[in-house]
Amino acid sequence: MILYVPFVTILNSRRLKWIEIRKRLLKFIALFAMFGVVNYVFDYVFRPSNIDLFRAFSNALGLSFGISFVDVIFLKKKNESHIIYK
């Protein structure tokens, strides 16, 4: 499951236009930075003796990836059988 979701996301993102991929990547980077900083600040305030940057940024990575690319995982191939040629 850990390798399946990113792999399927990369395969399905080939169907998207470049501008859509760019928007999603910018959203991913912004969310990753925001969640990482917020997680670090909460650790600093509530547990200053036990700050774990790996845990903070791994949570941020998962959340930002999930929010940015959740619908890309479920993209289906376009079915062209419904097109009627005249």
Between CA 54 and CA 61 the distance in angstroms is 10
41 vs 27: CA distance, rounded Å: 21
Mean of the pLDDT values across residues 24-32?
94
Q: Per-domain residue ranges for the chain?
A: 16-71
In this predicted model, what pLDDT tens digit does every residue of 41-85 receive, in sequence order? 999 999 888 888 898 899 999 999 989 888 887 776 655 454 554
pTM of the model: 0.75
How does residue 29 score in pLDDT terms, banded at 50, 70 and 90? Answer: very high
pLDDT band at residue 27, thresholds of 50, 70 and 90? Answer: very high
